Structure 1
């Protein structure tokens, strides 16, 4: 089976969100067992200028679903960044994964050559769809999932590599 833009994106995003959901479950159990307020995990960050755990989940969601929007003509759901607790984060993950379940392989056919331009305050970047997915989206998505893992690990949640690499079997 040849690699396609669909096989490189949707399953990777879905698996990443499965791992992220598992991390949230373990974090919630840890907080309950240790008496740590969930807000200390929800608002935790690795550095003062980095997004907290909640922001990492939000950016993973936005990065992945907006990539599909830029690579297809599909209408992508928009979610306000108004999550206030772990249940809200789980709902956002669920809505994001539910969207991915609607994306068909044919929706991404030909998107490897589609031009994608991103505008930043001081510059623009233009990619082929393939380069956009492989060199920008996937690294960005995994950055946010990994940072969420690192925040929880830093706060003492007993998680390990196997919690991050779920679903590969």
Structure 2
């Protein structure tokens, strides 16, 4: 019999897998000839920059972590970084924060009628949107990233063959 899936598993582990994808994409982008200009790059002229989308991913992951663990959100107030190296470091710090959380969580109802449930239902889809935008911005700027660059870090250790 397999262990039941917890809200912590669904939220924190989802954020960790997504942050590992962001890390891998940014690492690949760091060898691109235009790497210095990528943090300010946009998918379209009326959209936010790559740096904003990375900041949003880290802030949303940290906010979800704080929500589930009942901890302060000090790590959920990252400032927008200016270089790929700073963006990667920010992602690394957020991953370390989430990995250091263990399995300890404050009691949380699975009933999504409460304010906590509503916050969680907003955090995850927003995180996934910004994760997709990180990929899209890099791809639009000529960084050679493809489907497997997105999926492999995200699915590592979760699905057979990844």
Task: Please state whether the residue corresponding to 1:41 is helix, strand or coil.
Answer: helix
Asked if 1:69 is matched to 2:66, the reply is yes
Once the two structures are TM-superposed, the CA of residue 87 in structure 1 deviates from its matched residue by: 1.0
1:83 pairs, out of 78, 81, 89, with 81
Tell me, yes or no, if the aligned pair for 1:71 and 1:108 is still in contact at 8 Å: yes
- Superposed counterparts of 1:10-159, under 5 Å: 10-31=12-33, 36=34, 38-78=35-75, 79-113=77-111, 115-116=114-115, 129=117, 131-133=118-120, 135-159=121-145
Tell me, yes or no, if the aligned pair for 1:69 and 1:75 is still in contact at 8 Å: yes
Tell me, yes or no, if the aligned pair for 2:38 and 2:84 is still in contact at 8 Å: no
Higher strand share: 1
RMSD across aligned positions (CA): 1.9
Unaligned runs of 5+ in 1: 117-127
Distance (whole Å) between structure 2 residues aligned to residue 102 and residue 30 of structure 1: 32
Once the two structures are TM-superposed, the CA of residue 95 in structure 1 deviates from its matched residue by: 1.0
Q: Deviations over 1:40-61 (max 9, x none)?
A: 3111112233210001000011
| Larger CA deviation: 47-56 vs 69-78 | 69-78
Unaligned runs of 5+ in 2: 156-161
Q: Which runs of 4+ in 1 moved over 4 A?
A: none
Size of the alignment, in residue pairs? 151
